Structure 1
Amino acid sequence: MSTGEVTRESGGGRWVVPLCWAAVLLDGFDLVVLGTVLPVLLQNKVWGLDPDSAAMLSTVGLIGMAIGALTIGTVTDVIGRRKALLLAVIDFSLCTLLCAFAPSAFVFGLLRFLAGLGLGGCLPTAIALVTEYARTGRRGSATTTIMTGYHVGAVLTALLGIVVMTPFGWRAMFVIGAAPALVLVPLMLRHLPESGSFLAAARSRRSLRDALGAIASLFQHGLMRPTLAFWVTSFMGLLLVYGLNTWLPAIMRQAGYELGAALSMLLTLNVGAVIGLLLAGVVADRFGVRPSVIGWFAASAVFLALLSVRLPGAFVYAAVLIAGCFVFSAQVLVYAYVGRVYPDGNRATGLGWTAGVGRLGAICGPILGGALLSAGVAYPWGFYAFAIVGALGAIAVTAVGRARPRSESAATGLPAPVEG
């Protein structure tokens, strides 16, 4: 049995969560690093950047993520989830390192786009692997546990921004962000097991045509409405995640806070995200993922609207912390819900397309924030706009419905999923 064919039964499954968690942590670094360095780039007018051109730099990276996420499901069905995750980590780590040496905004944007291809594929592949290896009844908490890595990475990046940028400059952030791959990639090569469902399909000589059929299956046998509802909800969720992480420091600067305080709020937002993820997984396993994701989006809308009020002292940090608890874990619960609806045979495809369409929202978030910032109205109107997006996410996810999709085993050759 090769390293890539290690199974749960042979003990290889114990490596899935820590290795996928570490890969998602590096993905989380990228979530925050641009938002961390943007105030410095804008303040020093590096490459002549203004809010509009800075938003464009964010957008090209997100376009790469969208392409990576949309294609990853089909790619993993052909080459395997293990190899796809390895390639994703190598790609975004190398390109992130090269960002530190970019001589111009054009080269920096190109590298962000190329890194985005790997970043877009990392998250859905990691979630699909972890979901497959999770114990029955623990898939909600398994997904949210993996996503704590995303926000631990974001928290560490915000801390690094406070500690590193003043003495070493913004370029050092990208060198530090790429360095962990030197350890992670060899560990993944040695210990990360392949998906059991992929190995079973490979023994049946699954082809690219079969993989493309998995995309079509997202719209068949009762899955069309859940698929479209997931896409809309993911669009709203990732608009919030990337809009806030890209522009929260700049918005708070416009509100009159010092740079250090604004970066501390970004840190607080992502600490709240980790707390929210730990809580969301328990709530989803106890009460069901569907009511949990609806409630989380609704609470996001409420607390984002509250941030439009200028609160004194520690109260603003408390409001940011609570908003982070709900905003980020709301999107993660969407992924957990997808994992409940789609069976093993097309779960990676379902997750990939949900994340990929959601990346269109991730593109719109920084554009929306940049436009409001350029107009001088990001505070408080940016928070009103984000609150409306959260409310729309809560409405959209209700359309997934409660009914189990019909005849799924005919579409995938696997049993119908357990309803969440």
Structure 2
Amino acid sequence: MRQINVNDFIDTQKFNRFHLSLLLACLFIIIVDGYDMFMLGAIIPTLMEEWDIDSVTAGSLSSYALLGMMVGALVFGPLADKFGRKKIILICTAIFTILTFTSGFANGPTSFGIQRFFAGIGLGGVMPNLIALVTEYAPKKLRSTLVAVMFSGHAIGGILAALGALTLLPVFDWRAVVWVGGLPVLLIPLLAKVMPESFGYYIKTNKKELLVSTLNKVNNHERFNVQDEFVMNAADNTTSSAKNLFTEKRALSTLMFWTAAFMCLLVMYGLSTWLPKIMQTAGYPLGSSLMFLITLNLGGALGAIFGGKLADQFGSRKVLLVFYTLGFLSLTSLSLHPNIVLLYLLIFIAGATTTGTQIITNAYVSQYYPASIRSTGVGWELGVGRIGGMIGPALGGFLLAAQLPIHFNFLAFAIPSILGGIAIFLVQDKYGHAARAKKDSSTPTSSIA
């Protein structure tokens, strides 16, 4: 009988068909997630005109979804650590796609906002579990890169939302843009077939045959069988509980992750909701303003992928410090009325260092905690961060209502960027999972014999 350390086996694999199918399935869900979130920024000028609502009320529509996302992240992150990530991912995907589709039938801001809240619960629950699942199966040398590539789909979804608005609004109305976001519910059976369950869940629940089948797909040259003994590192065998985010000297880093997410999501959702309207107020037509939103999200996608590669090479903390600084500088520069070429370049950089920064942060958090509390760690980081995400659209709405000069709008989002960088600077890597795993690697914990 062989003894296999599953952590070591996963860490040393090369990227193959298994990883590609997992990545594509998770990427697809995140693209749909991103479309759902960013479509509001694309249609909000139309909603304000049709329903005759002011910018404060319109900003609250985005906050409803973000409130739901906070609830979803805080609830479904810990649940997945106990009941399996795959089940929770599919349930949450069904929730947000169905509620997105039905919100297209809303006849006013109240009905629309309520449905956005419940859709947000699904959106918030799916994110931390996708991040945790990709982290769990990714080869060690590609972990941040694959999480970043997967999560870049969020920005791609934003691009598709803007393109959808550009294409559909002149022919139909905003409802067509919303209904498109609900169609992927039809593909959930295919996703259920393609996606694996967490190997940690299989070990904890003693589902050895399913574990063997999955590991044989991870590397089809290996032939594991039920007579083998499978073990996990002791660092991955802690009890699944939110209180463990504060044990083993992780408390300060946990609070700093929450602070960084709060600041970054404030900027990210504030800009994605209000950038078209801010630029429209500055004198640009709606079509051009939507192009700014596309540029912002294109920067987010490419910044995430490029930043993920850098994080695997130089470490997430160093890369994030650089990105937060660039975010502050780009947003500050946007307040100085640059020419059109520089304007597009700065918006691209702002996207790379806000949306891209949050994606790299998610990868960093997912690797900081052991597998048993990974979804909990990412879920609570994103859940608390959603408070900032709710404040961002509301802040943008109040600034527009006050009719302040445009540079005040950008400065209000530049300051949180530097505060987020300070929080990341205070994270203590020496108490993270990677450092502890090195200490505990000599004493793996057997879970299935």
User: Quick check: TM above 0.5?
Assistant: yes
Match runs of 1:392-403 below 5 Å: 392-403=419-430
Task: Give the aligned partner of residue 223 of structure 1.
Answer: 250
The residue identity in structure 2 corresponding to 1:203 is N
Contact 2:81 2:374 in 1 (8 A): no
CA deviations 1:63-86 (Å, max 9, x no partner) are 000000111222102321000000
Q: Separation in 2 of the partners of 1:212 and 1:39?
A: 48
The residue identity in structure 2 corresponding to 1:19 is A
Per mean C-alpha deviation after superposition, the further-off stretch among 222-231 and 323-332 is 323-332
Task: Give the aligned partner of residue 292 of structure 1.
Answer: 319
Q: Separation in 2 of the partners of 1:189 and 1:232?
A: 35
The residue identity in structure 1 corresponding to 2:291 is S
Change (3 A) 1:216 1:38: same
Change (3 A) 1:287 1:30: same
Mapped pair 1:130 → 2:137 = no
Contact 1:408 1:415 in 2 (8 A): no
Identity fraction in percent = 36
Contact 1:12 1:191 in 2 (8 A): no
Number of corresponding residues: 402
Mapped pair 1:68 → 2:76 = no
Match of 1:35 among 38, 41, 51: 41
Q: Which secondary structure does the structure 2 equivalent of 1:203 belong to?
A: coil
Task: Give the aligned partner of residue 202 of structure 2.
Answer: 199
* Alpha-carbon RMSD: 2.5
Contact 2:240 2:372 in 1 (8 A): no
Match runs of 1:1-400 below 5 Å: 13-44=19-50, 46=51, 48-183=52-187, 185-203=188-206, 213-377=240-404, 379-400=406-427
The residue identity in structure 1 corresponding to 2:396 is G
Q: Structure 1 segments of 4 or more deviating over 3 A? A: 7-14, 210-213, 405-411
1:142 positional shift: 1.1
Change (3 A) 1:375 1:74: same
Task: Give the aligned partner of residue 232 of structure 2.
Answer: none
State which structure, 1 or 2, has the greater radius of gyration over its C-alpha atoms: 2
Q: Separation in 1 of the partners of 2:172 and 2:353?
A: 34
Q: Separation in 2 of the partners of 1:280 and 1:74?
A: 28
Q: Separation in 2 of the partners of 1:352 and 1:378?
A: 37
Contact 1:221 1:408 in 2 (8 A): no
Q: TM-score, normalised by structure 1?
A: 0.90
Per mean C-alpha deviation after superposition, the further-off stretch among 377-386 and 362-371 is 377-386
CA deviations 1:17-53 (Å, max 9, x no partner) are 1111100011100221111110111133x1x311111
Contact 1:251 1:378 in 2 (8 A): no
Q: Separation in 2 of the partners of 1:192 and 1:123?
A: 15
Q: Which runs of 5+ in 2 are unaligned?
A: 1-8, 208-236
Q: Separation in 2 of the partners of 1:415 and 1:236?
A: 38
Per mean C-alpha deviation after superposition, the further-off stretch among 255-264 and 125-134 is 255-264
1:376 positional shift: 0.6
Q: Separation in 2 of the partners of 1:188 and 1:163?
A: 28
